[in-house]
Amino acid sequence: MIYQAEHIDQTHSSTVMRIQTEENIEYALKIQTSSHQLAKEQDLKREYTILKNLQHENIISVGEYFEDLALDNFKDHSEVRGFTMELAQCDLLTYLKSNHPNPLHPVKARQIFSGIAKAVQYLHSKNFAHNDIKLENVLIFENGEAKLSDFGFACNTSSPFQAEQWRYRAPSFLAPEMIKYLSKKPSAASKDSNNQSTFDLTKTDSFAFGVCMFESLFFVLPFHSERAFENDTYYSYIVLKNYEGFWEIPFIKRLTNIYQRFFDSSEVRFAQLKDLLNKLLTRNPSERLSFNEILTHPWFQQMMDLSDDESSC
């Protein structure tokens, strides 16, 4: 029996709790209750089934599924259902905030993002897309390991496209082709809502991954607004493939100068980082890097060769 519960996080359809068993073992528990109007029990079961069938060191592992569970210290004891997961130290957003104003060290960044890239590479090999890669869904453990979590929006890449679900995604991590589609009038969007070939969901994952990397390294989004509008003051440079112009935007230039001074980053390594980000944030999904290509990109390969003293974070 679970006898203690502490709130950790809240989404539009679920709550994550820290729980402690009678054996003093701590887990995370993801639950849905009757108070969540948008929640459906089958969605939680579906996420649990997906995670239960995935085995990767950089994907959160799950334990038991509970149909009816009473929790101490929780306001609603009725009709609680959910599943246990391994308990992380914090998510990446919290980790970055706790270390601010110190930037994320490039070696630590490579450790975190190579782990997440391997997780998504594995997921794509199973013909699934995550569809909700963002800082809050990257979990950091006490040993420094990073794991991908929250598979509530994950789907088979050949499944019929469901536009309505995408309206709940964090706007900052939406790929430009998805933003353009969702901006259509409902009548126009419904005409091709079942056209799965409209989107390569593996490449929308690549875009979200690129936004995560950019925000983690520079503390800002690669847009002037909250999302990748094609006419955005910053992102329009990328739309026009004027990548040099993007990196010379005064505000962006100031941040990258701070980054380079802080870590004494060589021009070669920083050029590799910019090339990686350019190829992740590009508007054309067919030109975006796959996760196989991400992991073999020179920036990740170069970072593996850095000395131990430089990697101390």
- 97 with 69, same domain: the answer is no
| Residue 298: CB atoms within 10 Å | 14
Characterize 47-73 residue by residue with b for buried, 16 or more Cβ atoms within 10 angstroms of its Cβ, and e for exposed: bbebbeebebebbbebeeebeebebee
How high is the pLDDT of residue 313?
43
d(CA 306, CA 118): 20
Residues 244, 252: Cα–Cα separation, whole Å: 11
CA angle 169, 173, 176 (to 5 degrees): 100
Whether 312 is in a domain gets the answer no
Which of residues 66, 85, 104 is at a domain's end? 85
- On whether residue 310 sits in a domain, the answer given is no
202/79 same-domain check: no
Please compute the mean of the pLDDT values over residues 28-57 and round it to a whole number.
82
Please indicate, yes or no, whether residues 79 and 109 belong to a single structural domain of this protein.
no
**Model confidence over 59-110: pLDDT tens digits?**
999 999 988 776 665 665 555 788 999 999 999 999 999 998 888 999 899 9
Looking at residue 73, what is its pLDDT?
A: 57
Residues 280 and 143 occupy one common structural domain: yes
Tally of structural domains, the chain? 2
145 and 230 within one domain: yes
Instruction: Give the domain CATH number at 109.
Output: 1.10.510.10
Whether residues 146 and 244 fall in one domain: yes
Which of 85, 119, 135 is the last residue in one of the domains? 85
Q: What is the mean pLDDT of the chain?
A: 87
User: Which residue from 133, 129, 151 is spatially nearest to 44, judged by alpha carbons?
Assistant: 151
Do 202 and 271 lie in a common domain?
A: yes
Same domain, 56 and 138: no
